[in-house]
Structure 1
Amino acid sequence: MASTTPATLANTPPAPCADAIDWRLVLGAPGLYLLLLVGMAQGLALLGSAAFAPPDAGAQYVYGSLALLLTQLGAGLLTFRWLRARVGARWRAGSACGFGFGGSTRAWMLAGEGSGLMLALAAVALAWLLPRHGAPHLASLLIALPALPLASTLISVLLAPLFEEGIFRGALLGALAPALGPLGAGVASTALFTVLHVPEQAGYFWGLLPIAALGGLAAWLRLRSGSLWPGIVAHMCFNALLGLGALH
């Protein structure tokens, strides 16, 4: 994530592009990540349910929070390990066929920060104009145990942006670019990113608009800057501003 000069980015070796879509990455990256999330969450939930019978509310909150953090961290790191072993030099390459984990310039990082905060403000305005009711908490989507809002906020601000950008704007965009081109790959990865966030919106259609806009913004930052880091920063700032309410 260290800052580099534009010349350094320009000299980054281009990623070798295949002639067709790399379906191993398109299906494997999000599929493995989701399977690990669900599997680890359900396993930890079963352990917690067995450990807290009769239930101890305080202990359940602590355990549920740790389970959420371990689930997100474990699923993300194992998925990244799987990806890293299959892409080699493409991991740091800044071209559309690369994964973009090379460095970025300070200007692009600031652009990611500012655009993420502006998009979050637009999302707040939308939620104020068109409020939603009954949206599920993150913990209820993964584990059958309560969790402290702080744990969900930490996941939303720190872990989820890193892993989601690596999968959607890294693996998917890079794998789809040879066949669809940079624009088509950006649109396709954004569409899948939006679809996979449908459950947490609990039928609130308008809530998908900021998510789609965030995906499009992150894809644009990835393609223009040659790095995933500006999009990760934008994603973090977006989630951080929207997640402030969860702490109260």
Structure 2
Amino acid sequence: MTHDYVPASPSSTVDASARPPGVFETILCIAVYFVLQFAFGGLFGGISMQIAQYFPDRVPQAPDRLIVVVILTVLCSALVVSWLMIRRWGAGRAMDPGPGGLGFTAPTGRFIAIATALGIAAPILGGLLTQLLAGEHEVSQAVSDIAGKAHLGMRVALLPVVVLIGPAVEELLFRGALLSILRTRLGDGWAIGLSAVIFGTVHLPDLAWLWYAVPNLVLVGLFCAWLRVRSGSIWPPFVAHAANNALATIAWFTATAGS
């Protein structure tokens, strides 16, 4: 597969003396992110319940409190994992646009435009695919269920987390570290496909283990992985991922506009 970027000189970007991260370490980083979400979610959820118990008349209702818990959970998990990954991969590999790097390089405007288009197309195509596979079964994510019951102000507060922070850390994990490791071992084609399947599969718990919702996320993973390989940068897949999530959140405001 051809690329549309000019690889940087390895001697100028990568510290050759540092041991590159391996498959196990990369998978462990992804696992740590989801474990941290579980841990922080339990911590902040427990604190929220304690506060509500002692000050029942001074705290928001349960859906609004859950929004606060989600925001704090994602923020803390993203900060910890991002710090660990950048520290481990190092500045050289973080800036490397090639198969062994994370791709923190400036993309061309052409790929930002393509990413925006794919990000808009993904939820439309993915929605049709999910509808075809799910039939009459309803599909929703946990965060969507929470947002749909919260007040308008809390839904707005959740938007930056869902549209910006979540996609940023997931792109770092899946199209940065994971795709990088797979490309150096399997080549671009297999790496794009396998990373997309893994990306979709790890979201199963958030989808209540509904398998027919996974192909939608696999499609997003394919678009984002292709953008990373073709552009040599992690920013176009981030733009596509953010656009996809932004369109998906429209349901929070249209389906519950009368509430």
TM over 0.5: yes
Distance 2:60 2:143 in 1: 18
Q: Any stretches of 5+ residues in structure 1 without a counterpart?
A: 1-5
Task: State the partner residue of 1:176.
Answer: 182
Which residue of the partner structure matches residue 94 of structure 1? Answer: 97
* 2:20 and 2:89 in contact (8 A); partners too: no
Say if 2:80 is the partner of 1:72.
Answer: no
> What secondary structure sits across from 1:135 in the alignment?
coil
Q: TM-score, normalised by structure 2?
A: 0.80
Identity of aligned residues (%): 24
Give the Cα separation in 2 of the matches to 1:159 and 1:131: 32
Aligned pairs (5 A) from 1:119-198:
119-126=122-129, 130=135, 132-133=137-138, 135-138=140-143, 148-198=154-204
Q: How many angstroms does 1:121 deviate by?
A: 1.6
CA distance 1:194–1:178, change in 2 (3 Å): same
Q: CA deviation at 1:156?
A: 1.9
Flag the 1:11–1:184 CA change in 2: closer, same or farther, 3 A.
closer
1:158 to partner: Cα distance: 1.3
The alignment's TM-score, normalised by the length of structure 1, stands at 0.83
Q: How does 1:20-59 map to 2 (within 5 A)?
A: 22-53=22-53, 55=56, 58-59=60-61
State the Cα distance separating 1:98 from its structure 2 match: 0.8
Letter in 1 for 2:70: L
- Provide closer, same or farther for how the CA distance between residues 152 and 124 of structure 1 changes in structure 2, counting only shifts above 3 A: farther
CA–CA distance in structure 1, aligned partners of residues 215 and 209 of structure 2: 13
Tell me whether 1:238 sits opposite 2:241 in the alignment.
no
Deviation string, structure 1 residues 209-228 (Cα, Å, up to 9, x no partner): 11101001100000000001
1:163 aligns to what SS in structure 2? helix
Deviates more, 1:24-33 or 1:206-215: 24-33
The 2-side partners of 1:153 and 1:127 are apart by 23
Aligned twin of 1:3: none
Aligned Cα root-mean-square deviation (Å): 2.9
CA change 1:29–1:203 in 2 (3 A) is closer
Counterpart Cα distance in 2 of 1:210 and 1:59:
32
Match of 1:103 in 2: 106
After TM superposition, give the deviation of residue 173 of structure 1 in Å. Answer: 1.1
| Preserved contact between residue 37 and residue 74 of structure 2 (Cα < 8 Å) | yes
Code of the aligned partner of 2:88:
R
Provide, for residues 15-72 of structure 1, a one-character-per-residue CA deviation record: whole Å limited to 9, x for no partner: 7699997134322220121121111111001111111016557254443322211211
CA drift at 1:208: 1.4
The total of aligned residue pairs comes to 238
Residues 61 and 22 of structure 1: CA distance in aligned 2, closer, same or farther (over 3 Å):
same
> Residues 39, 203 of structure 1: CA spacing in aligned structure 2 closer, same or farther, 3 A cutoff?
closer
Does 2:9 match 1:13? Answer: yes
1:202 corresponds to 2:205 = no
2-structure distance, mates of 1:42, 1:243: 25
